[in-house]
Structure 1
Amino acid sequence: MNDHRKPLGQRVLTIRTPENIELTYALAGPGSRAAAYLVDVFAMMIIGQIFVNLLISVVTALLSGLGPGSQTWVAAIGGLVAFSLYNGYFILFEWLWNGQTPGKRLLHVRVIRQGGYALSAFDTLLRNLLRVIDFLPFFYGVGLVSMLLTRDSQRLGDLVAGTLVVYQDPVETESLLPVLPAASTAEPPLPASALAAVPGEVVELVGIYLRSREEMTPRPRQEIAVELADLIHEASGLDPQAGQSVESFLTSIVRQSEQAPPSSTPPPVEAELLS
């Protein structure tokens, strides 16, 4: 049975148009955006592997008679193609798919302009060319800080382009309870106040991890589990109990979050439509 709900703790943005029409959007947080990005990275790896290998084969054949210096040209062209593919992937998909990429579509989020308008080609070009700055110093460090400090969870590219990332529809989240291991009688109940402090996006990201962990190799599986536990600790102070594995702790977080009474909807954030 599906649990139809929006992620806990999400903020709601209400935009009032000059015609006095209210447009209401739920803002996507860092967790949902990170999950969408990981899906897109996987898709780009597949596409990139095909195109880069094909291009390198063609260029190598064309430059094979030019001596040792041809290897430098091959590397330079390969780097240029990789850069173009990375930026072109997001730019083309967001422009042609009305603010969505495959990852965003899977996570039910999309990019819009402030004011509720659809993206233009220039909007998506501007926000994505600044992605390289948001990525600094590693894995969106600058972008994450920007999202945490801004009211509407915007990275630098969003701020410059005047864009927002929102949920397209109320998110339909499939409950994990039927597939999780049965709760042990020794599983400690988590403090309700601390559990409520865990952002809904983080719980959602943990759920994605629990669904896909069996397909991971041991080392990445353990590293991702530890990173998720660190996110939970930073938000709520919760840690695995003595003798409890990290994955068991993550399972407890999801199970007890789904069993917790629904939280009240946060008050909307009012924003006037820019003329």
Structure 2
Amino acid sequence: MGLFNRINLQTPESVELEFTLAGIGNRTLALLIDNVIWGLILLSFLAIGAVVSTQLQEIWLNFFEDDESLLLWIISIQILIFFSIYMGYFVFFETLWQGQTPGKRAVKIRVIRDNGRSARLPQATLRSLLRPIDDLFFLGVFFIIFGKQEKRLGDWIAGTLVVQEEKPVVSTDFALSQEAKTLAEQLLVQADLSQLLPEDFAVIREYLRRRSMMLTEARTEKSKQLAQQVKKLINLEKVPKGITANHFLEAVYLAYQRDRATD
């Protein structure tokens, strides 16, 4: 039995991927970091809000005698902003950083969907809205510890998992063409490899590993499909002439590894 739970997911490309679940320890540490940052943001807001409220009350009293209506407006606006910061922090970062917050990035874990893809705005919103319920009486901790997939309630509703962000393995057990090695050097300059997530890399790797066992027609169709998706993902305008879909995927595989090795 391993120290960490692993889970196999089937991607839309019919490729099976294996991930290591984040675990309660990593998730707790990430949440602690996020709460510190969130608290600093909230304190800054409260400090600025206090100064602005005082100034507004002074200006208001110069024109009106009763400041009760202004006070109600200030309290309402502060509650709205407080709620936006509380809910919006996780939604903003998990959407912008493709399943990561500052805390998750520091601990190297990520939120993904049940199909292996990165979390988007709908998933991040559902997870954030259900966070208060998960925090109530430590329900989230209970679900994570005793669930095989280590999901809190927000994960079950949003259809997400929290997994460790694993670095790609440099060694390969399949042949790579010379054309791919040459193209890989070009991709490091011309392509935006930062848009390629670990789960995207894993799909490419699994295809390259299993392509020799596929029928020729199926291999051709699958390689073209993956190549088109990856080309769009890394914002590459065009592929050099004479480069097949298989050569292109091999090149992306190599370029991604070399790009991560320099991080």
Q: What is the TM-score with the length of structure 2 in the denominator? A: 0.56
Cα separation, 1, equivalents of 2:118 and 2:30? 19
Deviations 1:180-235 (A, max 9, x none): xxxxxxxxxxxxxxxxxxxxxxxxxxxxxxxxxxxxxxxxxxxxxxxxxxxxxxxx
Q: CA deviation at 1:109?
A: 0.3
What is the identity, as a one-letter code, of the residue corresponding to 1:57? V
What is the identity, as a one-letter code, of the residue corresponding to 1:153? E
Q: Say yes or no: does 1:12 pair with 2:6.
A: yes
Cα separation, 2, equivalents of 1:20 and 1:92? 30
Cα separation, 2, equivalents of 1:20 and 1:157? 26
Deviations 1:49-96 (A, max 9, x none): 222221232233223424356545444433332221111110000000
Q: Say yes or no: does 1:48 pair with 2:42.
A: yes
Cα separation, 1, equivalents of 2:78 and 2:37? 18
Which residue of the partner structure matches residue 146 of structure 1? Answer: 143
1:18-167 aligned at under 5 Å gives the runs 19-64=13-58, 65=61, 66-67=66-67, 70-137=70-137, 141-167=138-164
Cα separation, 1, equivalents of 2:12 and 2:85? 40
Q: Percent identity?
A: 39
Q: CA deviation at 1:117?
A: 1.0
What is the identity, as a one-letter code, of the residue corresponding to 1:151? K
CA distance change for structure 1 residues 129 and 21 in 2, over 3 Å: closer, same or farther? same
Cα separation, 2, equivalents of 1:101 and 1:18? 25
What is the identity, as a one-letter code, of the residue corresponding to 1:33? R
Cα separation, 2, equivalents of 1:85 and 1:18? 34
Residue aligned with 1:136, SS: helix
Cα separation, 2, equivalents of 1:55 and 1:44? 16
Residue aligned with 2:22, SS: coil
CA distance change for structure 1 residues 17 and 91 in 2, over 3 Å: closer, same or farther? closer
Q: What is the TM-score with the length of structure 1 in the denominator? A: 0.54
Q: CA deviation at 1:14?
A: 1.4
Residue aligned with 2:19, SS: strand
CA distance change for structure 1 residues 17 and 94 in 2, over 3 Å: closer, same or farther? closer
Contact 1:12 1:24 in 2 (8 A): yes
Contact 2:21 2:150 in 1 (8 A): yes
Residue aligned with 1:59, SS: helix
Instruction: Kindly indicate which of the two structures has a greater share of residues assigned to helix.
Output: 2
For the pair shown, the structure with the greater C-alpha radius of gyration is: 2
Deviations 1:75-133 (A, max 9, x none): 44333322211111100000000000000000000100001012121111111111111
Q: CA deviation at 1:145?
A: 1.0
1:187-198 aligned at under 5 Å gives the runs none
Residue aligned with 2:134, SS: helix
CA distance change for structure 1 residues 163 and 18 in 2, over 3 Å: closer, same or farther? closer
Q: Structure 1: which 5+ residue stretches go unaligned?
A: 1-7, 171-275
CA distance change for structure 1 residues 90 and 17 in 2, over 3 Å: closer, same or farther? closer
What is the identity, as a one-letter code, of the residue corresponding to 1:156? L
Cα separation, 2, equivalents of 1:129 and 1:18? 27
Cα separation, 1, equivalents of 2:51 and 2:19? 47
Which residue of the partner structure matches residue 194 of structure 1? Answer: none
> Size of the alignment, in residue pairs?
161
Cα separation, 1, equivalents of 2:142 and 2:40? 29
Which residue of the partner structure matches residue 192 of structure 2? Answer: none
